[in-house]
C-alpha cells in the first residue's frame, strides 16, 4: 500500500477534480463555437408622436432570435418629452441616431425606422460619415431624398399649415384618437396603452429637408410595406423602391403600427430581410 502524505493527497484530489471537469468545460466550449452566431446589431427608430415604447413588444422577440437590439427616444419625444422645444427638427433627430450609434459604439448597424422615422433615417444615412449604418430599413415609412421633407409629400393646404406652425414655433399634436384605427390600426387595448405615451412634436420635424444624399452610399436598403395600411402615400413609396435596384422591397401582413399590434408578425418579417 502506498501511503500518501497530506500534501500529496491534496494535490491528487485537485488533479482528480480538475480531470473530472475537463469534459464539461470542453462541452461548453463546443456549444459556444456552434451557437455563438454573430448578428448585426439592430437599432429601432420610432415614428412621429411615438417613442421607444412603440418597440417594447418586439425587442424581446428579436433578442430571443439572437440579436442585439437597441432603441432610442428622439429628442422631445418618449422619455425625452420633457426636453421638447420648437427648435427641435429633422436635423436634430438625424443627429440623435448618429449619436446613439457613436456613444454606444455600434457599427455595421441595421437601422429600422418606422413612418416619420424614415425621414430621420434618410437624414442619418446622409450624415453618416463614419459609415456605422450598413442596412437602412424603411418600415411603412416616409422616403425623402436630398432636399425633401415630410411636409413636402402632403397636399398644399397641409404644407402651408406645417410651414406656418414651424415659423410660429408651434407644436403639432398627435392625430386625434378616433382616427388611430384607420391610419395606424390601433384600437382597443393597444390604443388605450398607447394614448398616454403620445406626445406633441415640433413642426420643424415635418418642414426641415434632408441635408445630403441618403441614397448615394453603397449600403443595403429595404422598404417594408404594411399592406393592411391603405394609405396610398406609402404605396407610392413602396412602388418607387420596387423600381430602384438600390432597394429590396417586401410586404408585411400588418397595419401601420404592426410592431405594437402584432409583434410576432413584425419579428418574422424583419428576420426574413436581415
**Burial annotation 26-50 (CB, 10 A radius, 16+ → b, else e):** eeeeeeeeeeeeeebbbbbbbbbbb
Beta strands in the chain (DSSP E): 42-45, 69-72, 109-114, 133-139, 171-172, 201-202, 220-226, 248-252
Domain residues for the domain of 56 are: 37-271
What digits encode the pLDDT tens for the residues 145-160? 999 999 999 999 999 9
What digits encode the pLDDT tens for the residues 111-128? 999 999 999 999 999 999
CA 7 to CA 140: how far, in whole Å? Answer: 72
The answer as to whether 77 is a domain residue is yes
The answer as to whether 19 is a domain residue is no
The answer as to whether 20 is a domain residue is no
> Is 64 exposed, middle or buried, given 0-12, 13-18 or 19+ CB atoms closer than 10 A?
exposed
Sheet holding 248-252, edge to edge: 69-72, 42-45, 109-114, 133-139, 220-226, 248-252
The answer as to whether 264 is a domain residue is yes
What digits encode the pLDDT tens for the residues 64-112? 999 999 999 999 999 999 999 999 999 999 999 999 999 999 999 999 9
pLDDT of residue 231: 97
Q: Compute φ and ψ for 115, nearest 5 degrees.
A: 55, -120
What digits encode the pLDDT tens for the residues 199-256? 999 999 999 999 999 999 999 999 999 999 999 999 999 999 999 999 999 999 999 9
CB atoms within 10 A of CB 105: 8
What digits encode the pLDDT tens for the residues 8-57? 443 344 343 333 333 332 332 323 333 445 699 999 999 999 999 999 99
Which of 67, 87, 88, 71 is CA-nearest to residue 79? 71
Show the cell assigned to 165. 406652425
Strand partners, 222: 137, 248
Identify the CATH number of the domain in which residue 253 sits.
Answer: 3.40.50.1820
The answer as to whether 6 is a domain residue is no
The answer as to whether 1 is a domain residue is no
pLDDT of residue 33: 31
pLDDT of residue 37: 52
Count of structural domains, the chain: 1
The answer as to whether 7 is a domain residue is no
CA 109 to CA 72: how far, in whole Å? Answer: 14
The answer as to whether 26 is a domain residue is no
Amino acid at each position: 500500500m502506498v501511503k500518501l502524505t497530506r500534501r500529496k493527497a491534496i494535490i491528487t484530489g485537485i488533479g482528480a477534480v480538475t480531470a473530472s471537469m475537463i469534459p464539461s468545460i470542453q462541452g461548453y466550449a463546443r456549444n459556444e463555437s456552434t451557437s455563438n452566431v454573430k448578428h448585426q446589431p439592430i437599432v429601432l427608430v420610432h415614428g412621429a408622436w411615438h417613442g421607444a415604447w412603440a418597440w417594447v413588444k418586439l425587442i424581446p422577440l428579436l433578442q430571443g432570435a439572437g440579436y442585439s437590439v437597441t432603441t432610442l427616444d428622439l429628442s422631445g419625444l418618449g422619455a425625452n418629452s420633457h426636453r421638447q422645444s420648437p427648435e427641435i427638427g429633422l436635423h436634430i433627430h438625424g443627429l440623435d441616431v448618429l449619436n446613439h450609434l457613436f456613444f454606444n459604439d455600434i457599427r455595421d448597424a441595421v437601422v429600422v425606422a418606422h413612418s416619420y422615422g424614415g425621414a430621420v433615417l434618410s437624414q442619418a444615412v446622409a450624415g453618416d460619415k463614419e459609415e456605422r449604418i450598413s442596412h437602412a430599413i424603411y418600415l411603412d415609412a416616409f422616403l425623402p431624398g436630398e432636399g425633401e421633407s415630410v411636409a413636402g409629400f402632403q397636399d398644399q393646404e397641409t404644407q402651408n399649415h406645417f410651414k406656418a406652425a414651424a415659423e410660429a414655433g408651434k407644436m403639432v399634436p398627435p392625430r386625434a384618437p378616433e382616427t388611430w384605427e384607420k391610419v395606424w390600426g390601433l384600437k382597443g387595448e393597444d390604443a388605450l396603452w398607447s394614448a398616454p405615451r403620445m406626445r406633441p412634436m415640433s413642426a420643424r420635424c415635418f418642414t426641415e429637408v434632408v441635408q445630403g444624399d441618403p441614397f448615394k452610399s453603397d449600403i443595403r436598403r429595404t422598404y417594408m410595406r404594411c399592406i393592411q395600411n391603405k394609405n396610398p402615400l406609402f404605396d407610392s413609396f413602396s412602388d418607387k423602391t420596387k423600381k430602384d435596384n438600390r432597394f429590396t422591397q417586401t410586404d408585411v401582413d400588418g397595419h401601420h403600427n404592426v410592431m405594437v399590434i402584432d409583434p410576432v408578425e413584425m419579428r418574422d418579417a424583419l428576420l426574413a430581410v436581415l
